[in-house]
Every structure is written in C-alpha cells, then in structure tokens.
Structure 1
Amino acid sequence: MEGQLDNVLHYINGQFVEGVAGKSFANVNPATNEVINKVAEGFEEDVALAVAAAREAFDHGPWRTMSVKERLEYIVRIADLIDENAEEVSELESLDTGLPISQTRKQAARAAENFRFYAQMVNSRLVGETYQVENSFVNYTVHKPLGVAGLITPWNAPFMLSTWKVAPALATGNTCVLKPAEWSPLTANKLAQIIDEAGLPKGVFNVVHGFGETAGAALVAHPGVQLISFTGETKTGSEIMKNGANTLKRYSMELGGKSPAIIFPDADLEKALDAVVWGIFSFNGERCTANSRLFVHHSIMDWFVSALKERVDQIVVGDPMDPDTEVGPLIHRKHWQTVMNYIQTAREEGTEVVSGTVPAEFEKGNYIAPTLLLNCTNNMRVAQEEIFGPVLAVIPFESEEEVIRMANDVIYGLAAYVWTSNIKRAHRIAQAIDSGMVWINSQNVRDLRTPFGGSKYSGIGREGGHYSFEFYTEPQVIHVAIGDHPIPRFGTKTKKS
C-alpha cells in the first residue's frame, strides 16, 4: 500500500472519534520498523463511553428486539462488504502484522465466512426445547442475549479472529465493544468502517484502541459488560479473570499452546513432513495451534531431520507483500527479542540450532529465519514454554506410552497432531492426549461447526458452531400451567390463641 495511512480513531456510538485524553501511539511496520500511522489511545473514560453506547443500544435500541430475519440481514451484509473489501483488508493485515499476503488473503475470506456461518447457525440451531409434564405443565426454553460483550483480540490473524468473536456476538443479539491488540489496529479499524457502512444501529458495535493494562483492564472491570471473550497469552488471560472477578462476568478464554505433532514410522512421511513444516512456519510461527513440539520415532529420526533441514533451507523469507513470501517478519521488535532469547536459551540448553537465512535487505525488520532445535528433551524450557515464532523443537521417542507421557507433560493443552496408518493407535493416542483438539493424519484444518478451545492452561470454554451459543446467550426456562393442578395453600389455618 502506498502513501501515509490516515490515523486510526475509536469507533463509539456510530462515530469515529479521538480519545478523551487526546493521546495517541505509533503503529509500526514490522518489515521496516518505520511508523505507519498514529492510533488513538483509549483509557477508562473512552471505554466508559463505548460501554454506555453499547448498553443503551442493548437496553433501549432496536437490535435485540428486531426480528431475527432483519438482524441477520445486517450480518450477511457485513459478510458481503468484507468480500468487497477483501484485497484492502489483506493488504492492511500484511502491512500491520508482517504476515505474508498469500496467507492474509485466505484470512479475509474466512472472516466473511464467519458472518455468513453465524447467520445460518442462528436460523438453524439457536432453538429451544420443550418438556411436557403430563397434562399439567409445558416447560420450554429460550436463548436470550446477555447484553454487552467485551471482545479482546490478539495481534496474530487479528481480522479473522475479531470476526470470529464479533459475528456470533452480534448474530445472537448482543452489542459489543472490541479492544484490538495495540500492535495490529489497522484491520480492526477497517472492520469498524465496514460495519458502519452496513448501517447497524449506533452503539451496537464499538471499538476502543489502546493498551491492555489501561483500555483492556477498564473493559474487563466495567460492571456494564456481561461477557469477556479473550484470545491471547495465558498470563494475560489469568490477569483478565482477576480484574473482572468483582463483577461476575462470563469468560471465554482461548490461550497459549505448545502443541505436539507425533510421527510414527508407518505414517505417510511426505504428507507428515508437509503438515509439520506448514504447521510451525506458516503465519510466521505466530499461531496458537502451531505444532511447536515435534515427536519423531527414533527409527525415522535421521530421515525426518534431514528432510526438515532441506525444507527449512528452501523456505522463502521476505517482503510480506510479495506473493512468493512464505515467512515474513514477526509482529514487533519486542516479540522478536523474546523469540531470539529463546533461541539463545536453546543453545545454552545444549540443542543444535539449525536456521534458514534472512536476506540482507531485510535487516531492519523483525525477521527470524525458520529454525530447528535438534537434540531436544521434553524438559527443556524451549520444549515447555510457548515461543510463538518460527521455531520447532524436535524430540525423539521410543514407544507409544513414552510419547503420550511427554505430549501431556506440559502445562498447555490446546491442540495435537498424530501421524500413523494404524487407525486403532491413532484413536487411542488422540483420546489419551490432554488437548481440546486433535488432528489425525492432517494439518490444522477448521470446521466452523466444531468446538474450538483448549484444556489446562490453554483456555476455558469453547466457541465455534452451536457451542458459541452457550457463551453468547442465556438459556431461560418458562413454565406454563396447562391443566387444573393443586396449588399448596398457605395462610388459611386459624392461629392458635
């Protein structure tokens, strides 16, 4: 994209506005570390205005009381506008995050699908149940929106992950306040422009930019917010739950991961190799479900490591706007330093570090070449802690029992991948692994109908499909008397003197 972009403003009550304090912060291009534009910095006062607008829209506006058909027409309209603006969205995402344009184009398409999917799900699956008690009662349930949803999104795949939350929140009749990650504000601003163009009633959708410690904390603590959906690192998720404890909010937490990929000798090794390389090095390694721990059976370790080295050397590192680029820069210099520190830690722990190359012309950016950590053991820091970069820890195993133990010997439990042609073993291992999701003989592919989330320190709750309704709606049961049934009588006896 050419030229200086306009500064990013908050979107509150149907208007793009400066922050109350009049402050802003710089948004930086990760490929060059040059300033792209300025972003309005939100504080408690801005959050209060956004929540008040969302509260008013929910309590007194038409959003939750309009017909489902009319509300879902807005949702589909948003999807259509995303499609119309898909190329701009993709370019903004690549510029802002360093993700290769070939990958952000797919994310824009997925974002539009999120809205269409939830329009369909509300029509087909947001249904109640009826319980008849002989000829006396009919009891039935309805699903009602809760109110204001606080949506806090991460900087990796920010546009798609924002729509992953906004779509079900709005489709079910809630209003919302979105707090995007401060390192990737551009596509959240574009989403606000799209929703504004779609003509939603004012206050239904709001965006407050800023930092987690200020804007995010204020959103979490606000008593007018009933729901907090957060995607991000585990430590931040824990802090969010502490900050919101006094207001008894409902939480959905999709947190960190250190997901294992397990390769047995009888697997289709070429496909497994493709999946492993894609799973850790696409998205610049900044993917929560990345297979960052690779367990390879000792009998095929030499072949697999040799093949990995060859692939790593061939991965194209470069300008995220170049369609041929496979790995771009990391999101921010601070994160770049964190990942570099882990690579140094790996050396100190005794691993063999094998890296690809970053072309010299990209030295000003936050580039880290795809990296293998060989001769790892599962107790090393680099095998236990989430690195969130293009870094793969390779660990040998001997037996099924050993690899299950090592796969589970970590605080996280988001995803796992099993490669074997023995289908009984595949199911056995998949069910033995402590994780929210397991892929057998496949890379990470998503089915929007299925629940997404993790166990242990990887999260709380599930979103996706009709499972999102458990979070974004409140079931209410209504009891209707239909027969002549006795009612206990109180206050009819004569008091003793």
Structure 2
Amino acid sequence: MLYINGQWRKAKSGSTLEVYNPATGEVIDSVASGGREETEEAIQAAKEAFKTWKKATGQERGQYLAHVASLMREKKDEIAETITKEMGKPLPHAEREVAGAINYVDWYAEEAKRVYGETIPASHSDKHLMLLRQPVGVAAAITPWNFPASMITRKIAPAIAAGCTVVLKPAPSTPLSAIKVFECFHEAGLPKGVANLVIGPAEDIGNVLTKSPDVRKLTFTGSTQVGKMLLKESADTVKKVSMELGGHAPFIVFEDADLEAAIQGVLGTKFVNSGQTCISTNRIYVAESIAEEFGQKLAEQAAQLKVGNGLEEGVDVGPLINKQAVEKVESHVADAVRQNGKVLCGGKRYDEGKGSFYEPTVINYAHDDMKISTEETFGPVAPIYTFKDEEEVIERANHDSYGLAAYCFTNDLGRGYRMMAELEYGIVGINDPAPIVAQAPFGGIKESGMGKEGGRSGLLEYLEEKFVSVGTGK
C-alpha cells in the first residue's frame, strides 16, 4: 500500500509490484505500485502539512518521534522478520538493524528540542545580529534495499525533528519493511501529510521528486552513478542535497596489530550482510611479514561461516539480493583468478535451489589491476594485498574516487593518529570495525557522497540558516 496524506491507498492505475525472497526466489507478497501522479499528490500533501508542522515546537515533534520509537519496539520482531524475508540477511542481523533504526528515532526525538540559533556580536552599537535555523521544507528521501529499515529512520527522523515534511521512495525490492515502519508513523498519530510513502518505478518517481520546485531537499543513498544523475536532475531547482554513495573501503593491518582482532574485524565488515554494505571492506592490506598467516587464518574462519536462508538458526551469511548481484561477484572473482589471485576458500556459488547465494571467499595475492580493486563488489569476497611500509599503504589505500570508510588495525598509538589524519575518508575506524552509531555523523567525501546523516550533523542537513540584523535605533 501507498501512504499519502495520512491514508493507506492503492495506486490509481491498479498496478502492483511483486516482492521476492532472495533466499528462495519465491514471491512473498505484492504491493501497490504508484507513479508520477501519486508522487505529485504526496508532494502536495507534504507541502500543505509543512505550513503547520514547521510551527510545531521541538518538544511536540520529539514526542511524536518518541511514540514512533515505542511502537517500533513493540513491532521489532515483525519488522526484523520482514527484512530477512525480503532482502535475505540472517534474522539476528535484521534484529540488530531494527535496533539501530530505533536508535535513530530515539536520538532525533531528543534532538528535536535542540535546534539552536545563535547571537552574533555586532560591529555597531545600534544593531542586534542573530542567526536563525529553520526547516528547509518538503524533503524527498530515496532509500536502498540493503538496510531497508534503518536507512529510512536515519533520513526521516531528523527531517521530522527539524520541522520538515517528507516523501519517501524505498527500493522496489524491499518495500515491505518501509510499510512496516510507516505503520508506526501512522499509529503514532503523526499529522497527515508529514510523512508520505510512494512505492514504484525509480525513474517515474525520482524524476518527479528531483524536478519539483516544491521539494526543497533531496536525500539519497545508493550507487554513485545514480547519485550523479539525481544531482544533475536536481540542479534546475537548486535543491539542498545530501548523498551517501558508493564505497571501496580499505582495511589496513600492520605487523604490530592484534591479529585475531583484525581477523574478526574483517569477518564483521566483509561478510555481514553478505558484503552488501556501502562501508564493507573491499581491499585488505596486510603487512608483508604477516600476510601469509593472516590469509590462512582468515580463510579458515570464513570457511566456517554458515550460508543459508536467514530465517534458519545459526546462519551467518544470507543470499545476495538477486541473480545479477551473484553474476557481478562471479565476474570479479573470475577476473582475480585470471590475474593470478589464489582462492583460499569459497570462490563459487552456494547451491541453495533458487536462492542467490555465493560462498564466503578469500583471495590471496590480489593486486591493484584487478576489477575487484577498483569496482565495488558488493558481495562476500575478501581480497588480500600486501604492503611494505606506512607510506606505501597510505598511497594505495586512498582511492581516486571513493572516500566513504576506512579501517586500520595497529597497536602503535602514533601510527594510529597518523593514519587517522592521512586516510582520505569520511569515516575512519582505528582498531574499530563497527564505528557507526546514531549520535555520530555518517558520510563520505569525493564521489562517495556529500552531506552527513546521523548525529547533530544529520539534523543540520534539514535546516536553513537565516541571518537577521535588527537596528535598535540607538
């Protein structure tokens, strides 16, 4: 169902969209599929609602969000199971995603009360200078399939907290999670038009969102290619834009690192969500003196990961989102093998009937000319590179285009600080493979994006600054 102006409804055309379980290839549900007309209606509903929502106090907006968080806690098991069914991640991982999604709502329920302005020291005695921060207006949010609940709340919660109204377009492969989240917004009694959900073809809906002069903010998470297209389409109306785009994260292991901790870090950043994460490790740089040992131990543990349907107990790695994703992973592995890469474990499809599974794979002797070194694999493949010294690894780790996340393991405090400064990424984890939290900003540099989500920075993305100068007459 679509959710427009506080009402659940079907598409006017009667069109529907089938939702598949990537673990079985079976259709699990069908939902209404809207288009240009429904998107325009959602924008107008949001525009009308903004007239009053922007005047609500921060405390009032925070209370609504707190109620949403409470409802999501009540429905957390239901939401998690929906995530697993429509995108494949193991149920415990889906449960963690739901917990993270709720954290964002909780955080911004509190931050809604903290939209502060500033008083600026005046240069003349007859003036009083102020800086006001006010909601930007109608915000359009386009979210991905790999985190179908948390990416929604990470965008919508700060928008609502800031006083904006929202039109959300979720990924067509994972609309059921979005519906579950919006059920919580509906049951919380959010005023009609404040949050709207439009499901359907990306081109039809996206084009309306980018071209509409009534949409004053666009936030998108997805591929760099699509992000660039949306930026171009948004240029004519000069929207405020934030984008979280592709990544190609390096994971650097120095000879003085805690080897076991580094291996666990790679397992967590590479194989969780089957490698389908924008901050997933893509290139593992290991000091020459420990590379063979590291590769062997990593492969041994990766081979023990259980692959299967995410609803089954004990599963560590679920399916990829579809067959095309499997084919891309296959092409990267085949290219690496052609260029003398050595497969230490995995390296092929995992036979699970109609599912889109690929084995957790570790490749030794990777080098910079392989496809896997420059293209985002988005799958459970861990290539290992070697390096001689700090200067070399910094130069190789810093990617020309990507700059989202990077990881470094070392027990040398000085080196840790040097890596923190030299790695050209928006997020850096030093001895920390899981740096993402609701209270901290998330976002990349270069072609990995612009703007931030999460933390205080995420709230500011939905606010405009207005300078006011008041003449006092004396």
Q: Give the TM-score category using the shorter length.
A: over 0.9
Identify the residue that residue 47 of structure 1 maps to in structure 2. Answer: 39
Q: Is residue 118 of structure 2 the alignment partner of residue 129 of structure 1?
A: yes
Identify the residue that residue 324 of structure 1 maps to in structure 2. Answer: 314
Q: Is residue 311 of structure 2 the alignment partner of residue 312 of structure 1?
A: no
Post-superposition CA distance 1:333-358 (Å, at most 9, x none): 22222222222222233312343399
1:8-87 alignment, distance < 5 Å: 9-59=1-51, 62-87=52-77
Q: 1:359 to 1:414 in 2, by over 3 A?
A: closer
1:359 to partner: Cα distance: 9.9
Identify the residue that residue 285 of structure 2 maps to in structure 1. Answer: 295
Asked if 2 retains the 8 angstrom alpha-carbon contact of 1:119 and 1:171, the reply is yes
Q: For 1:244, what is the secondary structure of its paired residue?
A: helix
Q: 1:387 to 1:360 in 2, by over 3 A?
A: closer
1:98-497 alignment, distance < 5 Å: 98-124=88-114, 126-133=115-122, 135-356=125-346, 362-484=352-474
CA RMSD of aligned residues (A): 1.6
Q: In the alignment, residue 98 of structure 1 is paired with which amino acid?
A: G
Aligned partners of 2:322 and 2:97: how far apart in 1? 20
Q: In the alignment, residue 20 of structure 1 is paired with which amino acid?
A: K
Largest Rg, 1 or 2: 1
1:379 to partner: Cα distance: 2.7
Higher mean C-alpha displacement, 429-438 vs 208-217? 208-217
Aligned partners of 1:108 and 1:382: how far apart in 2? 31
1:392 to partner: Cα distance: 1.1
Aligned partners of 2:328 and 2:405: how far apart in 1? 23
TM-score, length of structure 2 as denominator length: 0.97
Asked if 2 retains the 8 angstrom alpha-carbon contact of 1:316 and 1:326, the reply is yes
Show structure 2 runs of 5+ residues with no match. Answer: none
Q: For 2:149, what is the secondary structure of its paired residue?
A: helix
Q: In the alignment, residue 38 of structure 1 is paired with which amino acid?
A: S
Asked if 2 retains the 8 angstrom alpha-carbon contact of 1:312 and 1:355, the reply is yes
Q: In the alignment, residue 298 of structure 1 is paired with which amino acid?
A: E
Aligned partners of 2:196 and 2:23: how far apart in 1? 30
Q: In the alignment, residue 21 of structure 1 is paired with which amino acid?
A: S
Higher mean C-alpha displacement, 37-46 vs 92-101? 37-46
Asked if 2 retains the 8 angstrom alpha-carbon contact of 1:317 and 1:357, the reply is no
Q: For 1:412, what is the secondary structure of its paired residue?
A: coil
Post-superposition CA distance 1:30-52 (Å, at most 9, x none): 01111111122221111101101
Q: In the alignment, residue 335 of structure 1 is paired with which amino acid?
A: A
Q: In the alignment, residue 103 of structure 2 is paired with which amino acid?
A: E
Q: In the alignment, residue 429 of structure 2 is paired with which amino acid?
A: W
Q: In the alignment, residue 193 of structure 1 is paired with which amino acid?
A: E
TM-score, length of structure 1 as denominator length: 0.92
Q: 1:77 to 1:395 in 2, by over 3 A?
A: same
Identity score, percent: 38
Q: For 1:75, what is the secondary structure of its paired residue?
A: helix
Asked if 2 retains the 8 angstrom alpha-carbon contact of 1:317 and 1:358, the reply is no
Identify the residue that residue 489 of structure 1 maps to in structure 2. Answer: none
Q: For 2:173, what is the secondary structure of its paired residue?
A: coil
1:361 to partner: Cα distance: 6.6
1:360 to partner: Cα distance: 7.1
Identify the residue that residue 490 of structure 1 maps to in structure 2. Answer: none
Post-superposition CA distance 1:238-286 (Å, at most 9, x none): 1111112211111101011110011011111110111111110011111
Aligned partners of 1:213 and 1:342: how far apart in 2? 28
Runs (4 or more) in structure 1 with deviation over 4 Å come to 357-361
Q: In the alignment, residue 85 of structure 2 is paired with which amino acid?
A: L
Q: In the alignment, residue 382 of structure 2 is paired with which amino acid?
A: L
